[in-house]
């Protein structure tokens, strides 16, 4: 299988690590667009940046739950880590972990908007 790059987007302390395998032949569609210079809601970077920024605004109250979610996604990725596979199956695993992480960060973002809707 070769090596694994554990990629974390936006603030590495607040973002989950997504496994990308040596020999990968495709990445999730969200990785096709860079969101550094502009807001692109469906790119990989912005899948994490919104929740990260909101959490930072009230870090004292969000840090514990946020850290638990980072560790939960990392455990999910490590526990199911394939020891071998075809490029297609490794690509699918990367996409699976990315999608799980993106869903979790979207849920946190929505929760923070509700939680902070009346102020910080």
Q: What mean pLDDT is predicted for residues 33-58?
A: 94
73 touches 104 (CB < 8 A)? yes
Q: What mean pLDDT is predicted for residues 39-46?
A: 95
pTM: predicted TM-score of the whole model, two decimal places: 0.93
- Residues paired with 7 in a beta bridge: 18
| DSSP notation for 16-56 | --EEEETT-----GGGGS--SSS--TTSHHHHHHHHHHHHH
Angle at 55 between CA 67 and CA 17, to 5 degrees: 45
- How confident is the model at residue 44, as a pLDDT? 96
Per the prediction, the chain carries an average pLDDT of 93
84 touches 1 (CB < 8 A)? yes
Share of the chain above pLDDT 90, in %: 83
Whether residue 117 has pLDDT greater than 90: no
């Amino acid at each position: 299988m070769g090596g694994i790059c554990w990629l974390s987007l936006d603030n590495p302390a607040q973002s989950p690590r997504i496994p990308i395998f040596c020999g990968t032949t495709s990445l999730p569609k969200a990785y096709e667009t860079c969101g550094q210079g502009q807001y692109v809601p469906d790119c990989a970077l912005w899948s994490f940046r919104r929740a990260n920024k909101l959490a930072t605004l009230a870090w004292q109250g969000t840090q514990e739950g946020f850290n638990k979610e980072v560790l939960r996604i990392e455990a999910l990725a490590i526990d199911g880590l394939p020891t071998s596979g075809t490029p297609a199956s490794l690509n699918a695993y990367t996409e699976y972990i990315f999608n799980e992480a993106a869903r979790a960060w979207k849920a946190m973002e929505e929760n923070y908007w509700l939680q902070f809707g009346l102020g910080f």
